[in-house]
Amino acid sequence: MTIKKIGLSALAASIVASSVFAGTAKVETKTIASELLSDNNATALVDINSSYAPKLNAGINDGKIVVEFSNVANLSDYDDVSIYNEKSSETVTNNVELAGADNNKLIFDINGSVNDGDTLVMKSGEDLASINMTMLQGSSSVEVTFQTVNNNDTTLDTTAAGKLLEAKQQWSAMVESPMDAKIDAAADFVKFLWGMTSDSGSVKLVKTDLDFDTTSVNAYVYVKPDNNISKIATISLNGETPEQADSFEYNTTVASIDTNKSVIFAANDVNDTIPETTFTTSVKVFNDQFKTKTLLQDADFGKWVINGFNAQIPNVVGNEAIETTLKFTNSSSTDADIYVTMIDPAGETCSINSTTGAISSVKAGQTATIFASEMIKACTNANFDATGSFSVEVTIPTTPDKVYGFASFKNKTLGQFKDLPIYSNKGNSY
């Protein structure tokens, strides 16, 4: 694979004496897409656009300048490259040879005068030097090292000049806007708030401009709700009807993306009871230059939640020694059901609610009491661990300001009580 020409930089130096000195180099760093290097080598024709100033205690007019590139193999198209003195505009080398186990070194014969304070550049005639180099698979950068060697093969001057190429990820993805509609209990759960019957979210693919780019990519975009919402709505992804897997996951392929791109997922024309639903999304890209790359994996893509009082209570316990009690007062003028999700330390969940009679609802102007032991008894998830403490999420579909929550646990042996915090969307109760 050959990538179009870009700018680079670098050069070499010289010295004399028994001591080894280090000159200074100004090296321009160019960027290459890391996607290109994940699965293969990447070959680039590089313009050398930098300079090197040797540190010498005496001039030199014989020897060699060695330019070595790391993470590179098979240098080519270097035959017409020479090293020039920028001040005198004279060539200071007359021959260049390829060396190194990976063909990653260029050795220049010095046939001119190089002095302390000179600035050296690499050119092909009047133009900047261009060298083809192959950056090796998995590399993160190409470094260059300069050495000046006298005719006795003694190193006089050496310096690591820095990065010529740096690999950066070109393509990324982000959740631009999540699914966030709230289910309206007052509309019998068949509409979202304000009478809305649709919701949408978007994922954005972002391209960073680099010197060597990957050109266009194709994207796999996946959206996975934890309910089969196709039964209650018309689904679209990127403006088309997506494929659907058995796991309710929707997916589509978006071809030939060469700039930032937003992909929209929508659920329209809702016509039945809307379940509380959690969404995740994944994004992968690929093209003929590299294999499939994952940009997002099961990223949070929002939730549909019942509009109302929402709260979380930690450290709930219900056993022979300790009993946790939850109380919710409903000061509104309408009765309300209570929906509870229990979450154990391993992440196992158990959902129960008052519509099935597992726990009580809360009447208008009254207080409902729920015990941890009755929640545990109603749980049907055999993997749920209730031997220790667990957390509880509560939803009561009525105006949040009309609900007050209280939690405490009782040590049955000692007859002592302790309040538990309730973290809610109307403020925290203690």
Domains of the chain by start residue, with CATH = 2-168 (2.60.40), 171-306 (2.60.40), 309-424 (2.60.290.11)
**What average pLDDT score do residues 55-72 get?**
86
The per-residue pLDDT for range 69-108, each reduced to its tens digit, is: 999 999 999 999 999 999 888 999 999 999 999 999 999 9
How much helix, strand and coil, in percent to the nearest 5, is found in the chain? 5, 55, 40
Identify the pLDDT of residue 16: 37
- One-letter amino acid of 200: S
Residue range 283-309: mean pLDDT, rounded: 93
- pLDDT of residue 348 exceeding 80, the answer is yes
pLDDT for res 11: 38
> What b/e string do you get for 13-48 counting C-beta neighbours within 10 Å, with b at 16 or more?
bbbbeeeebebebebbbbbbbbbbbeeebbbbbbbb
Highest mean pLDDT, choosing among 9-13, 32-36, 400-404: 32-36
pLDDT digits (tens, 9 = 90+) for 155-186: 777 776 789 999 999 999 999 999 999 998 77
Please state, as a whole number, how many other Cβ atoms lie within 10 Å of the Cβ of residue 49: 18
Calculate mean pLDDT across residues 246-260. 94
- The pair phi, psi for residue 173, each rounded to 5°, is -140, 150
Q: What is the pLDDT of residue 429?
A: 58
Identify the pLDDT of residue 20.
62
Confidence of residue 430 (pLDDT cuts 50, 70, 90): very low
CA distance 292 to 330: 53
**Spatial separation of the C-alpha atoms in residues 48 and 72, rounded to whole Å:** 15
Q: How confident is the model at residue 427 (pLDDT cuts 50, 70, 90)?
A: low
Helix (H) or strand (E) holding 418: strand 416-420
Tell me the average pLDDT of the chain.
89
Amino acid at 39: D
For the chain, percent of residues with pLDDT exceeding 70: 94
Amino acid at 44: A
pLDDT, mean of residues 194-207: 97
Q: Is the pLDDT of residue 237 over 90?
A: yes
Gyration radius (Cα) of the chain, Å: 34
Contacts of residue 41, defined as CB under 8 A and 6 or more positions apart, other chains included, come to 1, 73, 134, 135, 136, 137
d(CA 248, CA 274): 15
Handedness of CA 70, 74, 77, 78 (dihedral sign): positive
Q: Could you tell me which residues come within 8 angstroms of residue 415 by beta carbon, excluding any fewer than 6 positions away?
A: none
Contact (Cβ atoms closer than 8 angstroms) between residue 289 and residue 215:
yes
From the list 412, 318, 320, the residue with the least C-alpha distance to 373 is: 318
If you write DSSP's letter for every residue of 156-219 in order, what string do you get? EEEEEEEEEEEEE--EEEEEEE-B--EE-GGGTTSSBGGG---EEEEEEEEE---SB----EEE
* Short-list 170, 160, 169, 168, CA closest to 70: 160
3-17, 135-149, 362-376: segment of lowest average pLDDT: 3-17
